[in-house]
Amino acid sequence: DAGITQSPRYKITETGRQVTLMCHQTWSHSYMFWYRQDLGHGLRLIYYSAAADITDKGEVPDGYVVSRSKTENFPLTLESATRSQTSVYFCASSENSNQPQHFGDGTRLSIL
Amino acid sequence: GQQLNQSPQSMFIQEGEDVSMNCTSSSIFNTWLWYKQEPGEGPVLLIALYKAGELTSNGRLTAQFGITRKDSFLNISASIPSDVGIYFCAGRNPYNQGGKLIFGQGTELSVKP
């Protein structure tokens, strides 16, 4: 039971570069979410998706792009990375809008 | 935006002691969740609560959904060193679309053997 996996686990890149964080779940959950976790801010929702081809903004969407062409994958792209996007990124999924969310182990992203 | 107030922010206790932490909201929730996060890992679900007044246990952990629907608490009995981590509450507003959760700031628990 692989669950939900994120890749890469660690990434260092430079300001202005494009970077994509991957998220894959094996549960066939309808809902998927991207959060960033920063000291002093806790977990903040970036984007979420209710199903394939349906995405919506969360609390802090600026600077990020998502897509969901397949139910099991929900990649997050930083089109032109900035230092303020240095953070730990978590992907989560849930069976539907009423069930708990289950989290991956995160991607630690550093932007120099 | 909607806020969740989680307290205490940190606790440093002796092994064997009981622990209590709580979360309060400015508005009603229809779901309360409690997660634990260890270093280098994602939050792991501990307990889910869906009805006001509900009391649910998971081993040494007990959580309750407050009667007012604006609060929840988590108790850990007879703490052990592996209880160390950050505990997060999360709530779901019945008027929020998309199953979005609002998270507390976390309670960092340290247990001295």
Dihedral-angle region of residue B79 (phi above 0 means left; psi in -120 to 50 means alpha; beta otherwise): beta
Contacts of A45 in chain B (CB under 8 A): 100-101
B44 to A21, B31, B62: CA distances (angstroms): 21, 16, 16
Contacts of A93 in chain B (CB under 8 A): none
Do A42 and B105 count as a contact with CB atoms less than 8 A apart? yes
Most A CBs within 10 Å, among B36, B100, B105, B108, to test the A interface: B100
3-state secondary structure of A25: strand
| pLDDT digit string (tens) for chain A, length 112 residues | 569 999 999 999 999 999 999 999 999 999 999 999 998 778 999 999 999 999 999 999 999 999 999 999 999 999 999 999 999 999 999 999 989 999 999 999 999 9
Tokens of B46: 């501990």
